[in-house]
Structure 1
Amino acid sequence: MNMIDVALICKALGDSNRLQIIQMLSDGEKCGCKLLEKFEITQPTLSHHMKILCECGLVDTRKEGKWSHYSLNCETLNGFKQFIEGLNCCGEKGGCCK
């Protein structure tokens, strides 16, 4: 995963509503209507949040009738998790900052 992708994901996750959406999708695919029920936002606002999450690659979408169904893109999420896990804290166990 390159730094531009990581930066886009971090920017997308910088909004508390989008973080909650990602958390909700961790249970599995959700219809946009179900996501909308959990927030006090309009449908256009939800669409804006979903566009950002889809553009950074964290979320996939599929259309069924008039509704969109959203799910996590596990490949992107796992790549981001690997990036985060690769970060080290110099203060732990004698780390790098002596």
Structure 2
Amino acid sequence: MTITPTPPEHQGQDVCLACACEATPRPNDDRGLERELKALADPARLRLLRIIAAHPGGRACICQLTEPLGLTQPTISHHMRLLAESGFVTRERRGKWVYYTIMPEALADLARRLTDLAASGTESHVSVCASSGAAG
């Protein structure tokens, strides 16, 4: 690795001020992650996922989701639509009832991507700081 000299404006500083991200991510790279995080950011949706996961087979009828949260069925349906669009649950209609099944692999994939992001952020910080001559 080639270490470049510390820029004059950063010489004598103990803190790496030059660690601004050199490679700005493309907006399309983060849209899926952003949508998924927004879906999980709502407390009602997190509770819905927990309730579904607690049911046998990770599957629950919409009728089993309204009472525990104290929300109306249309509000629950709205939250469940967002969770389904984000891939965290699947939706299956049986007559007049809709059943939702949790998708643990989608949650595991999100966890993996966040772990990768944290790891790459750490590596980028060390790399950028090392190339600027500061310690990371």
- Structure 1 CA distance, aligned partners of 2:70 and 2:40? 19
Task: Map 1:18-33; keep pairs closer than 5 Å.
Answer: 18-27=45-54, 28-33=58-63
Which protein is richer in helix relative to its size? Answer: 2
Pairwise CA distance, 1:17 = 0.3
Higher relative contact order (CA 8 A, sep 6+): 2
1:45-76 superposed Cα distances (whole Å, 9 cap, x missing partner): 01110111111111101011111000112332
Identity of aligned residues (%): 31
Q: Structure 1 stretches of 5 or more lacking a match?
A: none
Aligned to 1:62: 92
Pairwise CA distance, 1:3 = 2.2
Aligned to 2:73: 43
- RMSD (CA atoms): 2.0
2:33 equivalent to 1:6: yes
Say which one has the larger Rg.
Answer: 2
- Structure 1 CA distance, aligned partners of 2:53 and 2:70? 21
Q: Which amino acid aligns with 1:10?
A: L
- Structure 1 CA distance, aligned partners of 2:71 and 2:51? 16
Return the TM-score normalized by structure 1: 0.82
**Equivalenced residues, count:** 93
- Structure 2 CA distance, aligned partners of 1:23 and 1:41? 16
